[in-house]
């Protein structure tokens, strides 16, 4: 009986069940997550938060209570999965999975100040981690799971792109520093200081209020700007090809009838 309850509860919590309880729970938990994210955003608006402090606090307590019960029930019912069936090690293994860690980080900022005396400034930083509740939606979203699969499959290409960008940033900052340090020592005072200009140029955000004035500096600026346009398009291309490959994999998966085993 307990095993049956555990299996049913696991299916509801994971959103894999086909019954009405699963659909109601998924709709409720997604709505609560989105409401929490909205609360975190509106708390920073003084005109709203100043007059509704008690409401925000009550909503936070209610949300943490729901997410805590959900987390505890997930840990308990995880034994319904074959890979987590060992009483202690199985549950510990589940608690270390990415989604379980997200669930933990979603409630931890509420309990941490109660358990450990923290500086008030650090508490404000810790409260930012309440936004981890947004990542809980990934458990119920096929699109987000697909994105996760794409990132995992293309992680080596993405890491290589990041390394190339970092190397280009170092090289462009060094060259620009030597080209402009004598003409503009207050703006290009060092290579680390020049990195902000190089970052703004490579990413094309254009938020710096100084620019090269020497001939070599202008030439380097033009080259770095063109390189930035092409280089930062690479991650988009890598992710795009990853999505195409993921969609092709899904199309190749053959669906079979669970009763007769025939292909649908």
CATH number of the domain residue 61 falls in: 1.20.120.350
pLDDT at 68: 92
Check whether residue 181 and residue 65 sit in a common domain: no
In this prediction, residues 127-138 reach a mean pLDDT of 66
pTM for this entry: 0.60
- How many angstroms separate the CA atoms of 92 and 85, rounded? 11
pLDDT at 185: 85
Kindly give, in sequence order, each residue whose CB lies less than 8 Å from that of residue 234, ignoring residues fewer than 6 positions away. Answer: 161
In the predicted structure, residue 123 carries a pLDDT above the cut 80: no
Check whether residue 171 and residue 91 sit in a common domain: no
Check whether residue 192 and residue 244 sit in a common domain: yes
Check whether residue 115 and residue 229 sit in a common domain: no
Asked if 42 contacts 71 with a C-beta cutoff of 8 angstroms, the reply is no
Which of 140, 171, 186 is the last residue in one of the domains? Answer: 140
Check whether residue 120 and residue 15 sit in a common domain: yes
Check whether residue 126 and residue 190 sit in a common domain: no
Binned at pLDDT 50, 70 and 90, residue 66 comes out as: very high
Six-digit token pair at 165? 């960008």
The answer to whether position 255 is within a domain reads no
The answer to whether position 206 is within a domain reads yes
Q: What is the pLDDT of residues 180-193, one digit of tens each?
A: 888 888 888 888 88
- How many angstroms separate the CA atoms of 253 and 181, rounded? 60
**How many residues make up the chain in this entry?**
264
Q: What is the pLDDT of residues 38-47, one digit of tens each?
A: 887 788 788 8
Check whether residue 228 and residue 100 sit in a common domain: no
The answer to whether position 263 is within a domain reads no
pLDDT at 208: 63
Beta carbons within 10 angstroms of residue 40's beta carbon:
17
pLDDT at 195: 83
Backbone dihedral angles phi then psi of residue 119, each to the nearest 5 degrees: -65, 140
Q: Domain range for residue 104?
A: 2-140
Q: How far is CA 216 from CA 165, 188, 207, 221, 236, in A?
A: 22, 14, 22, 8, 31
The alpha-carbon radius of gyration of the chain (Å, integer) is 25
In the predicted structure, residue 62 carries a pLDDT above the cut 90: yes
Kindly report the CATH number assigned to the domain that includes residue 184.
1.10.287.70
64 vs 49: which has the higher pLDDT = 64
- How many angstroms separate the CA atoms of 87 and 91, rounded? 6
């Amino acid at each position: 009986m307990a095993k049956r309850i555990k299996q049913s509860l696991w299916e509801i919590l994971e959103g894999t069940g086909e019954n009405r309880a699963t659909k109601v729970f998924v709709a409720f938990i997604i709505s609560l997550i989105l409401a929490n994210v909205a609360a975190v955003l509106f708390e920073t608006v003084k005109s709203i938060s100043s007059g509704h402090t008690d409401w925000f606090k009550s909503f936070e307590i209610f949300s943490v209570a729901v997410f805590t019960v959900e987390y505890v029930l997930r840990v308990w019912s995880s034994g319904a999965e074959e890979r987590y069936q060992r009483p202690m090690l199985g549950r510990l293994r589940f608690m270390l999975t990415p989604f379980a860690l997200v669930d933990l980080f979603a409630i931890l900022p509420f309990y941490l100040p109660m358990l450990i005396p923290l500086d008030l400034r650090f508490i404000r930083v810790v409260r930012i981690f309440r936004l981890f509740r947004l990542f809980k939606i990934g458990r119920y979203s096929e699109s987000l799971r697909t994105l996760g699969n794409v990132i995992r499959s293309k992680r080596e290409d993405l890491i290589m792109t990041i390394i190339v960008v970092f190397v280009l940033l170092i090289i462009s900052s060094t060259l620009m520093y030597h080209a402009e340090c004598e003409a503009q020592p207050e703006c290009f005072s060092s290579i680390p200081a020049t990195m902000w200009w190089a970052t703004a140029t490579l990413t094309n955000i254009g938020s710096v209020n100084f620019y090269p004035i020497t001939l070599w500096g202008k030439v380097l600026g033009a080259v770095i700007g063109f390189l930035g346009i092409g280089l930062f398009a690479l991650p988009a291309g890598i992710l795009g090809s990853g999505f195409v490959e993921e969609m092709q994999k899904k199309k190749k998966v053959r669906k079979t009838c669970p009763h007769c085993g025939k292909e649908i």
